Amino acid sequence: MPDTNLAVPPAPPAAPGAPLPDASVPAATGARRRLERPTSAQPPRILWSYAAAIGGYHLVALLAFLPWFFSWTGVVLAFLGLYVFGTLGINLYYHRLLTHRGLVVTRPVEVVLAILGVCCAQDAPARWVAVHRRHHEHSDERPDPHSPLVSFFWGHVGWMLVENEDLSRLGIYDRYAKDIVRDRFQRRLERYYLPINLASWAVFYAAGFLASLAMGGTWMEAMQFGASLLVWGVFVRTVLVWHITWSVNSLAHLWGYRNYETEDDSRNNAFVAVITSGEGWHNNHHADPRSAAHGHRWYEWDGVFQAIRLLERLGLASNVVRPRAVPPAR
Ligand SMILES: [Zn+2]
Ligand SMILES: [Zn+2]
């Protein structure tokens, strides 16, 4: 599929054994470069649909601070959900599988992973993939949609709050995500993105409501328990997964060490690696985007890749792309 070249825009063709960019390079020293916002995002105009959604989720998540919405089951679901939805849906499926084609999974597994990813409210895959491929093509240059060299806030979330003509749907799909929109399953995800999310809200609420009634709770107790699972299991979890995903764009382009001299400012950030189950080895990733493994040294723990290896052993994943090389010992 010719389009999959887009999965590795800045990298040379992945000839077997081809050397990675110059290794064992220390972090760049001196003053940090500054970038202007992309010209296509000037002058800044608020993108109300995204601003309202991001603000709205945060506001609902704040209900978690009210005792009426608290339950330990909700808290456990929220934190389990960070892994189930964020790690498997976004990091494994949206990022390593779809954007970079680092592996292939069986169709039933793909359906499950895709639904988990859609429930993270980070757009349907086509747009996510297109924006991320553009990031790789222009990393930390002015057309990069979310370089934190503009500002930390811009790289973390600000870039989504203003209109950016370069990211207008049809244009960016045509340039970066033809392989995604050509797939009928992906077009369905795009079409049913909102209903899938709403259905997931209903599932969390109904599970709590019915479980409470089944255990002899009153109607009011059932409503309260259902609401706690909705607030914690959906909204708190979604907001946390957002900030975890966004921290790769912000923190992992600002702070950390570098194994490879890439042309961008990507870093290996251990904190981000822990909260993302391995996506924080971001300098490794920019040096070798197609590799399904982001941890290249023995101590670079990569929980996403562990999940991929488990799927591979179970016969549910194949064509798993390994790193082209490992950095020399320091
Ligand atoms: Zn990056
Ligand atoms: Zn990537």
54-68 residue pLDDT tens: 999 999 999 999 999
When divided into structural domains, the chain yields a total of 1
Q: How many Å lie between the centroid of ligand 1 and the Cα of residue 237?
A: 23
**169 in the Ramachandran plot: left (φ > 0), alpha (ψ -120 to 50) or beta?**
alpha
Amino acid 281: pLDDT: 98
Amino acid 328: pLDDT: 62
Hunting for tokens 């197609």 — which residue is that? 290
Residues 6+ apart with CB under 8 A from 107: none
User: What mean pLDDT do residues 74-95 have?
Assistant: 98
User: What mean pLDDT do residues 179-188 have?
Assistant: 96
The answer to whether residue 324 sits within a structural domain is no
CB 44 within 8 A of CB 137: no
CB 119 within 8 A of CB 196: yes
pTM above 0.85, yes or no: yes
The answer to whether residue 10 sits within a structural domain is no
Q: How many Å lie between the centroid of ligand 1 and the Cα of residue 311?
A: 26
C-alpha span between 96 and 302 (Å, rounded): 12
Instruction: Give just the sign of the alpha carbon dihedral 196, 78, 158, 267.
Output: negative
For residue 64, what are the CA distances in angstroms to 26, 137, 197, 199?
Answer: 43, 39, 20, 21
Q: How many Å lie between the centroid of ligand 1 and the Cα of residue 249?
A: 6
The answer to whether residue 321 sits within a structural domain is no
Q: Which domain holds residue 228?
A: 45-316
User: What mean pLDDT do residues 289-312 have?
Assistant: 97
The tokens of 180 are what? Answer: 């995604």
The answer to whether residue 2 sits within a structural domain is no
- Ligand nearest the Cα of residue 145 is 1
The answer to whether residue 131 sits within a structural domain is yes
The answer to whether residue 29 sits within a structural domain is no
User: What mean pLDDT do residues 283-292 have?
Assistant: 97
Task: Give CA torsion, residues 107, 112, 118, 119, to 10 deg.
Answer: 170
Amino acid 213: pLDDT: 97
Q: How many Å lie between the centroid of ligand 2 and the Cα of residue 282?
A: 8
